[in-house]
Amino acid sequence: MKKILILFIFLAQNLFSLAQGNESLVISQPFYVPTIETIEHPIGDSKIKVKIYQYGEPNHILCINLHANETTSVNAATAVLANTGGTIVRVMNNEQRVIPFKINGVR
């Protein structure tokens, strides 16, 4: 009887709080942990590092971060892909926006 009373009180409190519009925020733990692969790709006379973060099996979600000094999109993508799965491709350029390189000696 005591268990039923406790359950009833718990349910009543939750129903009352929902009726008041005070929904509780539920924060889920990340489902996927990324595997990270770093590759070097030639561009002109230079090489740039590209990091590929794979959350779970490859799927239709792909996020690309072209500018190394812009991390807001990476933070947002990380939060989403940890729960949905997908891929982030990041161009690593020492926190610089522009990638300097020369082709045939011309910059």
24-75 pLDDT, tens digit per residue, is 555 667 799 999 999 999 999 889 999 999 999 999 999 999 988 888 999 9
| C-beta separation of 38 from 31 below 8 A | no
Between 95 and 16, whose confidence is greater?
Answer: 95
**Under a CB-based contact definition with an 8 Å cutoff, are residues 37 and 52 in contact?**
yes
**Residue 101: inside a domain:** no
Give residue 65's domain range.
28-92
Instruction: Name 42's bridge partners.
Output: 47
**pLDDT given at position 16:** 52
102 within domain boundaries: no
Task: Count how many domains the chain has.
Answer: 1
Query: What's CA 104's distance to the chain center, in Å?
Result: 38
Looking at the domain assignment, is residue 106 inside a domain? no
What are the percentages of helix, strand and coil residues in the chain, rounded to 5?
30, 30, 40
Q: Is the pLDDT of residue 17 over 60?
A: no
Instruction: Tell me if 1 is assigned to some domain.
Output: no
Residue 43 lies in a domain: yes
73 within a domain of the structure (yes/no):
yes
pTM of the model: 0.69
Pairing between strand 86-92 and 46-55? Answer: antiparallel
Q: Is residue 60 domain-resident? A: yes
Q: Is residue 66 part of a domain?
A: yes
